[in-house]
Amino acid sequence: MSDLKIGAYICKGCGLGERLDCDQIATVAQRDGKAQVVQQHDFLCSAEGVKLIQNDIDNEGVNRVVIGACSRRAKTDAFNFQGVTISRANLREGVIWIRPDEDDLRETTQEMAEDYVRMACAEAKHSTPPVSAQEKGCEEAVLVVGGGITGMTAAIEAAKAGYPVHLVEKTGELGGYVARMWKDVPRHAPYTDPVDTSVADMVAEIEASDNITVHLNSTITRTSGAPGRFSADISTESGSTETLNFGAIVQASGATPYDASQLPELGYGKSKDVVDRVELEQLAIAANGGPIKRPSDGKEVKKVTFIQCAGQRSDKEGHLNYCSGDCCLTSIKQAMYFKDQNPDIETEILFDDLRTPGAPGEDFYRSGQDKMVTFRKGIVSEVVAGSNGPVVKFKDKILDEDVEEEADLVVLATGMVPNSGVDINEVPQNEPGEWEVNVDSILNLNYRQGKDVPHLKYGFADSHFICFPYETRRTGIYTCGPVRRPMDTQQAIEDATGSALKAIQAIESAKVGRAAHPRSGDLSYPIFRKEGCTQCKRCTVECPFGAIDEDEQRFPVFNESRCRRCGTCMGACPVRVISFENYSVDTVGQQIKNCEIPEEWDEKPRILVLACENDAYPALDMAAQQGNSYSQWARVIPVRCLGSVNTIWITDALNSGYDGVVLMGCKKGDDYQCHFVKGSEMASVRMSKVDDTLQSLSLEKERVATYEVAITDIDRAPKLINDMAETVEKIGLSPFKF
């Protein structure tokens, strides 16, 4: 590595030159920041300005670039230099836009700007330019688990993009649940009539493809590795096992229809003429376009009643709590089976809330109405046997009356239960070296964290539903289709396409040793100083992504291509042996230390704000763009995730005389908004223990505050900072200023 040489570049555009004393800032960069090269420019992000910096990198040996201009979120295309570290002092959004332009405030505004330049230089000094991870995988094949409509789509899409695919299906044939349907809800306009399921076409396409290998009657008995170098044992029913290597995995294990025998109150099991929606499909297939006959006596059905939400959206024991999302459309489709064959057949759909999501939804509903399917808002209490067929007892909620109606056939619109494997919180992983296959597991991962991807609410497989729907907490393993949330065929097809692309992204990133997502292309990766490690296992436990395994001596083993570069391990490590090249305990710690703390009699408090760079920091930037303001005492440092905040930063800050610390992360819990899923949660657990630190320093506990901030909190985020400024004013300055 060549000698460290800091080049600081101060922009005077966007009003910076008028509001700030840029010569003074340049002096600070040179004197305090120890920058060897300092330049000012009127318009730094212009081609000329960029050329100036590039020239210094090429000819002057500058390898740590400090840019004192706009926020690190702005002009990233212009300030994109290879082979160097880039530190951004946020003088525009962070100083002149967030502070009012008044003469008597010039002094404090200037102080803010100077501090940010000092901090950026400190960061630069303690960073090294990241080089790609050593661990690179070069497997290109995609493993698709599940041969239903979702898995088939994922396989076809990945194969079309040129990647070899192995499609593993547990049963003896492809097609899954959709193959057992007579027809499907239309996937293209006009959304009027049921259409062919297209399963046969897809099976033919798969068979014809050179890129796809199908493994029928097979399951996965062991999966190990990381993106680019997965290894999976594919075992057939007969007991033979084949071990193959993959670059990424798509889990499309789908859902199982809800067991209607748990619904005796709706007549299922008591009358043969009460069927669930799967059985109705079978009746329709048997009829093959002719009149549908009921099971009990083979009579042609003249009146059919559909009961929506059967065993769903209910708190009763054994029922599903959630809406399965496709049953309304399915019932409309099934009612059309009757109406299209004979318009005189009475078809009645009893619903509480009719929900027809997706592209076909509303049009298909209208088409059902147009075909004279009767929709009735009614709550069914029970279905009993009548003289000629089942009798449905329900309360009509529009007419407010109790009704009893006899039908030839009753169809229960039952829901779907995800095939998400074992719950890793319930089923412990085997000890290293003692492998046992779990027949209920889908992937049989040998990861320390458990055999399958984590489960979400109601047992659905993991998915970052708010931002990145196909991404699970296991990098390189993507869930799609009804295994991750209830959905219909069309949504499952879209899902499968998306996850196939994600799989390809993971493969390509692994090849070049870059992060797959959400920090796509990031070259940095966690570096671990083994001699300092105490084998406390906090990093392996707290990593939200199961990226860290343990070796026989319980030392952490980092799987770089599984890593998302959030830094939660770095925040967790009590002995601080984990760091990234351009993000470490030092890069932030030195920023904290290099902010000037005025003497107590100056009566200028300092408030440290550690803000999540994904949500809170952009919220503060946007607040500045909107003309909001926050206290001139605040010094904001962006962090990759609040989970990467090591408590030493808080202790150091308070020790060195900061008067307050504000931490801004994302929403945690079941409906989290954290980019890194558990980062903000981990942070809040750690921060709940910071009170002890405060007590040991005899400081008031109000001096540290942790908040959940969303990217939309443009008014609230500055207010939280101002609240801390008020608190500091109330309880007085920190006694640690020396």
Partner 1 sequence: MSNYNQEMIEKYRGNFLKEVQDNVEEGDWVKMCMQCGVCSGSCPLGPHWEHPPQEIFMMIRAGKRDEVLQSSSMWMCTSCYNCIARCPRGLPITHIMHGLATYSKRLGLAPKNQPTAKFAQLFWDNLTRTGRVNELKLGLSLYFMNGFSEGIKTALKMKDIGLGMLKTKRMTPMEILGGHGCKDKKGFHAMLKKAQEIEEARIGKSGS
Task: Provide CB contacts within 8 A for 382, sequence distance 6+.
Answer: 265, 266, 267, 393
Q: Which is nearer to partner 1, 365 or 525 (CB)?
A: 365
Q: Parallel, antiparallel, or unpaired: how do β-strands 230-236 and 218-224 relate?
A: antiparallel
Q: Does 388 bind partner 1 (CB under 8 A)?
A: no
Q: Does 354 bind partner 1 (CB under 8 A)?
A: yes
How far apart are alpha carbons 583 and 640 in whole angstroms?
9
Query: In the block, which residue shows the tokens 């001699």?
Result: 531
How far apart are alpha carbons 127 and 671 in whole angstroms?
35
Q: Does 363 bind partner 1 (CB under 8 A)?
A: no
Q: Which is nearer to partner 1, 187 or 366 (CB)?
A: 366
DSSP 8-class letter at 74: S
CB of 311 to partner 1, least distance (A): 24
Q: Does 302 bind partner 1 (CB under 8 A)?
A: no
Question: In this structure, is the dihedral angle defined by the CA atoms of residues 284, 290, 293 and 295, taken in order, positive or negative?
Answer: negative
- Give the binding range for partner 1 (CB under 8 A) out of 110-118, 366-374, 421-429, 641-649: 366-374
Cα dist from 518 to 277, 509, 522, 524, whole Å: 40, 12, 9, 13
What are the E-state strand segments in 360-517? 374-385, 390-396, 401-406, 409-412, 416-418, 477-479
CB of 190 to partner 1, least distance (A): 16
Q: Which of 388, 380, 295, 375 is nearest to 339 (CA)?
A: 375
CB of 366 to partner 1, least distance (A): 7
Q: Which is nearer to partner 1, 342 or 534 (CB)?
A: 342
Q: Which is nearer to partner 1, 3 or 344 (CB)?
A: 344
CB of 513 to partner 1, least distance (A): 54
Which member of 204, 372, 385, 557 binds partner 1 (CB under 8 A)? 372
CB 471 within 8 A of CB 517: yes
What are the E-state strand segments in 189-254? 212-215, 218-224, 230-236, 241-246, 248-251
Which member of 377, 593, 667, 716 binds partner 1 (CB under 8 A)? 377
Number of residues in contact with partner 1, rule: CB under 8 A? Answer: 15
Q: Which is nearer to partner 1, 6 or 392 (CB)?
A: 392
CB 382 within 8 A of CB 267: yes
Which member of 97, 375, 583, 617 binds partner 1 (CB under 8 A)? 375
Which member of 374, 388, 534, 712 binds partner 1 (CB under 8 A)? 374
- Give the binding range for partner 1 (CB under 8 A) out of 24-32, 398-406, 497-505, 698-706: 398-406
CB of 400 to partner 1, least distance (A): 9
Q: Does 370 bind partner 1 (CB under 8 A)?
A: yes
The structure tokens listed for 6 are 């800091």
Q: Which is nearer to partner 1, 18 or 370 (CB)?
A: 370
End-to-end C-alpha distance for the chain, whole angstroms = 37
- Give the binding range for partner 1 (CB under 8 A) out of 394-402, 513-521, 586-594, 718-726: 394-402
How far apart are alpha carbons 513 and 522 in whole angstroms?
9
CB of 377 to partner 1, least distance (A): 6
Query: In the block, which residue shows the tokens 């049009």?
Result: 363
Q: Which is nearer to partner 1, 201 or 362 (CB)?
A: 362
Angle between helices 327-341 and 277-287 (to 10 degrees): 30
Binding residues among 313-352 for partner 1 as defined by CB under 8 A: 344
Q: Which is nearer to partner 1, 344 or 434 (CB)?
A: 344
Q: Does 365 bind partner 1 (CB under 8 A)?
A: yes
Which member of 1, 47, 189, 398 binds partner 1 (CB under 8 A)? 398
Q: Which is nearer to partner 1, 399 or 512 (CB)?
A: 399
Q: Which is nearer to partner 1, 106 or 355 (CB)?
A: 355
Amino acid at site 436: E
CB 594 within 8 A of CB 119: yes
How far apart are alpha carbons 69 and 86 in whole angstroms?
12
Residue 181, by phi and psi: left (phi above 0), alpha (psi -120 to 50) or beta?
A: beta
* Residue 513: alpha-carbon gap to chain centroid: 21
Binding residues among 705-734 for partner 1 as defined by CB under 8 A: none
CB of 371 to partner 1, least distance (A): 9
Q: Does 190 bind partner 1 (CB under 8 A)?
A: no
CB of 342 to partner 1, least distance (A): 13
Instruction: Look at residue 96 and give its three-state secondary structure.
Output: helix
Draw the binding track, 402-441, toward partner 1 (x: CB under 8 A; -: no contact).
-x--------------------------------------
627-660 as b/e: b if 16+ CB within 10 A: ebbbbbbbbbbbbbbbbbbbbbbbbbbbbbbbbb
DSSP 8-class letter at 428: P
Q: Parallel, antiparallel, or unpaired: how do β-strands 218-224 and 212-215 relate?
A: unpaired
Cα dist from 726 to 463, 498, 705, 729, whole Å: 41, 48, 13, 5
Q: Which is nearer to partner 1, 62 or 392 (CB)?
A: 392
CB of 396 to partner 1, least distance (A): 7
CB 586 within 8 A of CB 639: no
Task: Provide CB contacts within 8 A for 707, sequence distance 6+.
Answer: 662, 663, 664, 665, 720
Question: In this structure, is the dihedral angle defined by the CA atoms of residues 497, 499, 505 and 511, taken in order, positive or negative?
Answer: negative
Question: In this structure, is the dihedral angle defined by the CA atoms of residues 358, 360, 365 and 368, taken in order, positive or negative?
Answer: negative
- Give the binding range for partner 1 (CB under 8 A) out of 96-104, 361-369, 408-416, 567-575: 361-369
Q: Which is nearer to partner 1, 192 or 296 (CB)?
A: 192
CB of 188 to partner 1, least distance (A): 23
CB of 211 to partner 1, least distance (A): 46
Q: Which of 547, 630, 603, 506 is nearest to 98 (CA)?
A: 630
Q: Does 396 bind partner 1 (CB under 8 A)?
A: yes
Which member of 106, 180, 293, 376 binds partner 1 (CB under 8 A)? 376
How far apart are alpha carbons 128 and 115 in whole angstroms?
22
CB of 404 to partner 1, least distance (A): 13
Q: Does 393 bind partner 1 (CB under 8 A)?
A: no
Q: Which is nearer to partner 1, 398 or 439 (CB)?
A: 398
CB of 354 to partner 1, least distance (A): 8
Which member of 73, 366, 393, 576 binds partner 1 (CB under 8 A)? 366
How far apart are alpha carbons 703 and 214 in whole angstroms?
61
Strand partners, 233: 222, 243
CB of 403 to partner 1, least distance (A): 8
* Residue 269: alpha-carbon gap to chain centroid: 42
CB of 244 to partner 1, least distance (A): 52
CB of 184 to partner 1, least distance (A): 23
Q: Does 353 bind partner 1 (CB under 8 A)?
A: no
Q: Which is nearer to partner 1, 350 or 483 (CB)?
A: 350
Binding residues among 593-622 for partner 1 as defined by CB under 8 A: none
Q: Which is nearer to partner 1, 140 or 408 (CB)?
A: 408
CB of 347 to partner 1, least distance (A): 12
How far apart are alpha carbons 181 and 257 in whole angstroms?
13
CB of 283 to partner 1, least distance (A): 24
Q: Does 399 bind partner 1 (CB under 8 A)?
A: yes
Name the residues that contact partner 1, by CB under 8 A.
344, 354, 365-366, 369-370, 372, 374-377, 396, 398-399, 403
